[in-house]
């Protein structure tokens, strides 16, 4: 199954709907982007991923990674593709110019991430985590640390990881045991074990910069006693030159359901040399710089699986002949009609299309909001607080759904390896687990953000959608306003319920997030419909007609799911909590 970059839809989303070029001129700390530059970057990135990464999609999955001595070997072709990735300057695209970057907005990195991930998600993870390590050091590191590490991360000659989880604790980081002892030279000696470390070791670069959570001696218990450290795989001197191997070792490679081309490692830190980054005991707050970017990156994974599933299913359905149209032969010249003739196949294809294109708009808007938040705009930071958990959870859940539909469209052929659909489904499944499960994102949204702010963070988001819908001439605007009213009423009801029983938050959170996410997608489809409608007055391009029809499909067939979510929420926590443990 080949991946073809949806350049037309990406340019529609960024340029026509979101007004990306005007957005970039608002940014004080980044170069502005015009339509010509945007199209040029997109075109070159498309050439790279289609020529270099897509051909490694299946072979990387079949070969996997191998632990040989102290080093992990990646699948054939991964090293060469990464070398060309560096030679083409892609790692520096949205990096800070003072450290060798091209200084383009962070949102340009999001565009690149979609293409890399859709072509080959396993390969893209090696490059993807470096952006989080880079930004964490830029935000919290000392000047000397920035000079030693950032030029290498910007160029791509070094990559980065985030090291949180330990064998005895996953989400509950307050239980972590990794220790960092101060030593005589002003540094630290770090000892402990971390698991599930994506890209934890590999042969693509000469060094890997691990960003690690650990405890200092006499640190307070729980999350208030966590500090953050830089632990390079290879020791470096004050000028950033490699001096030898640090005591960071791969205990094992995790045997996983999918993403076989990426080395997910258990790492042992055996008295490794480490540097404190940020204030002592405030490591979790500093690490959120990394984690929030990783959550946006993982939401891109969901989009990538939606897009890849749609392309593969559509290609197959157009060519595959199966049965006859219920009204009679649609293609009497053929022995049977194409799968695209049948309503249920169209239901699956249009679900994939509507989710992929709607998520693309949502995630690019999220990235543009992150651009503004990075420059300190309070309104953008507040919007980001609401959108990030919704985007991460919704996109990855829909990525799984669309990948599963891809298997279903192909039938038995989807279940075997030949077509790549079963790999897409296996690779997609991790998205709703790492960087905070769907349940954790939902608790963050409803508990921390909405109940925690007594609704203050949510109200501007609802008001913006309300104003846009009331100004709209789209026939879908009244439908969106009704959906928005349901979101608002549900939010108010849950705010009241949470004060009487906090368990109501946990019982309602996932369905609440899915409801909110589908209303948000409705907002983006309204924007797309408005833009396409205006464009059809000037152009007869079939693209715009298809966009309007897909918007209609979304409002008629997918947005109504929110009624089911709302019905679940009205049931409250009682049905979930009624069983005693021995009755489960």
Taking residue 575's Cβ as centre, other Cβ atoms within 10 Å add up to 10
Helix (H) / strand (E) element for 232: namely strand 227-232
Q: Are strands 207-214 and 158-163 parallel, antiparallel or unpaired?
A: parallel
Phi (first) and psi of residue 379, to 5 degrees: -60, -40
Q: Which two tokens stand for residue 578?
A: 């009624």
Phi (first) and psi of residue 43, to 5 degrees: -65, -45
Helix (H) / strand (E) element for 6: namely none
* DSSP labels, 57-109: HHHHHHH--EEETTEEEPPTTHHHHHHHHHHTTGGGTTS-GGGT-----HHHH
Gap between the Cα atoms of 93 and 127, Å rounded: 12
Q: What is the DSSP letter of 186?
A: S
Q: What is the DSSP letter of 543?
A: H
Gap between the Cα atoms of 393 and 519, Å rounded: 14
Gap between the Cα atoms of 561 and 520, Å rounded: 13
Contacts of 571 (CB under 8 A, 6+ apart): none
Query: Whole-angstrom distance between the N-terminal and C-terminal Cα of the chain?
Result: 43
169 torsion bin: left (phi>0), alpha (psi -120 to 50), beta (else)? beta
Active site residues: 435
406 torsion bin: left (phi>0), alpha (psi -120 to 50), beta (else)? alpha
Q: Is 268 helix (H, G, I), strand (E, B) or coil?
A: strand
């Amino acid at each position: 199954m080949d991946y073809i970059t949806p350049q037309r839809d990406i340019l529609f989303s960024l340029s026509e709907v979101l007004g990306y070029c005007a957005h970039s001129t608002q940014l004080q700390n980044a170069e502005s982007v015009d339509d010509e530059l945007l199209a040029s970057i997109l075109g070159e990135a498309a050439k790279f991923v289609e020529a270099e990464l897509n051909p490694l999609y299946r072979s990387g999955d079949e070969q996997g990674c191998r632990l040989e001595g102290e080093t992990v070997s990646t699948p054939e072709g991964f090293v060469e593709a990464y070398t060309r990735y560096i030679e083409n300057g892609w790692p520096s695209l949205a990096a800070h110019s003072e450290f060798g970057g091209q200084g383009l907005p962070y949102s340009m990195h999001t565009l690149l991430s979609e293409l890399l991930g859709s072509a080959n998600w396993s390969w893209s993870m090696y490059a993807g985590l470096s952006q989080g390590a880079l930004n964490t050091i830029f935000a919290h590191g000392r000047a000397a640390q920035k000079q030693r590490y950032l030029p290498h991360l910007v160029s791509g000659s070094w990559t980065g990881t985030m090291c949180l989880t330990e064998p005895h604790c996953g989400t509950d980081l307050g239980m972590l045991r990794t220790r960092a002892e101060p030593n005589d030279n002003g540094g630290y000696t770090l000892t402990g074990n971390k698991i599930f470390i994506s890209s934890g070791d590999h042969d693509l670069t000469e060094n890997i910069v691990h960003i690690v959570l650990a405890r200092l001696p006499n640190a307070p218990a729980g999350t208030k006693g966590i500090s953050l450290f830089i632990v390079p795989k290879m020791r470096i001197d004050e000028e950033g030159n490699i001096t030898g191997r640090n005591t960071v070792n791969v205990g094992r490679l995790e045997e996983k359901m999918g993403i076989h081309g990426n080395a997910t490692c258990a790492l042992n830190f055996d008295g490794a040399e480490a540097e404190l980054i940020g204030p002592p005991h405030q490591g979790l707050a500093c690490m959120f710089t990394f984690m929030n970017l990783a959550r946006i990156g993982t939401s891109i994974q969901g989009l990538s699986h939606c897009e890849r599933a749609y392309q593969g299913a559509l290609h197959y359905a157009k060519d595959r002949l199966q049965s006859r149209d219920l009204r009679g032969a649609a293609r009497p010249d053929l022995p049977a009609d194409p799968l695209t003739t049948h309503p249920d196949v169209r239901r699956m294809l249009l679900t994939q299309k509507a989710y992929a294109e709607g998520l693309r708009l949502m995630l690019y808007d999220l990235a543009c909001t992150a651009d503004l938040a990075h420059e300190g705009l309070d309104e953008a930071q507040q919007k980001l607080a609401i959108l990030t958990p919704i985007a991460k959870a919704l996109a990855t859940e829909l990525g799984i759904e669309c990948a599963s539909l891809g298997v279903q469209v192909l039938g038995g052929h989807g279940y075997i390896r030949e077509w790549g659909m079963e790999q897409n489904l296996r690779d997609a499944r991790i998205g709703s687990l790492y960087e905070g499960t769907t349940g954790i994102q939902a608790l963050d949204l409803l508990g921390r953000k909405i109940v925690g702010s007594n609704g203050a963070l949510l109200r501007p988001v609802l008001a913006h959608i309300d104003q846009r819908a009331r100004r709209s001439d789209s026939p879908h605007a009244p439908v969106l306003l009704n959906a928005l009213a349901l979101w608002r009423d549900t939010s108010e009801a849950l705010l009241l319920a949470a004060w009487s029983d906090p368990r109501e938050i946990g019982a309602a959170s996932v369905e609440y997030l899915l409801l909110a996410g589908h209303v948000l997608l409705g907002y983006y489809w309204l924007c797309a419909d408005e833009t396409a409608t205006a464009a059809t007055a000037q152009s007869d391009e079939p693209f715009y007609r298809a966009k309007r029809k897909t918007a209609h499909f979304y409002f008629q067939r997918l947005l109504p799911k929110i009624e089911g979510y709302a019905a679940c929420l009205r049931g409250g926590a009682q049905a979930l909590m009624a069983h005693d443990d021995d009755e489960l």
